[in-house]
């Protein structure tokens, strides 16, 4: 099992998500929960296609976190 970092963004109308370590692996939906479901499916499909094509599976390399700052 691999754990890939996912970035979620709110556009004001919907949520989008992308996986920095898997170029082009994206999803969007009206709710965060739906977006989480879709990006998981997108990652699984992305990796399945790589395997079918005999291409290497990228290792997760991106780390994410939050930094608190005074405003």
- Mean pLDDT for 52-71 is 96
| Overall number of domains in the chain | 1
Please give the Cα distance from 64 to 7 (Å, whole number): 8
pTM: 0.91
The enclosing H or E element of 26 equals: strand 26-29
SS3 track for the chain: CCCCCCEEEECCCCEEEECCCCCCCEEEECCHHHHHHHHHHHHHHHHHHHHHCCCCCCCCCCCCCCCCCCC
Confidence band (pLDDT; 50, 70, 90) for 67? very high
Percent residues over pLDDT 90 in the chain: 99
The CATH code of the domain that includes 48 is 3.30.160.250
Range of the domain at 31: 1-71
pLDDT tens-digit map of 11-39: 999 999 999 999 999 999 999 999 999 99
């Amino acid at each position: 099992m691999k754990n890939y970092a996912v970035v979620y963004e709110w556009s004001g109308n919907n949520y989008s998500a992308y996986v920095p370590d898997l170029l082009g692996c994206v999803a969007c939906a009206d709710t965060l929960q739906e977006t989480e479901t879709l990006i998981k499916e997108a990652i699984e499909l992305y990796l399945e296609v790589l395997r079918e094509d005999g291409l290497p599976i990228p290792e997760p390399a991106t780390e994410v976190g939050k930094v608190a700052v005074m405003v």
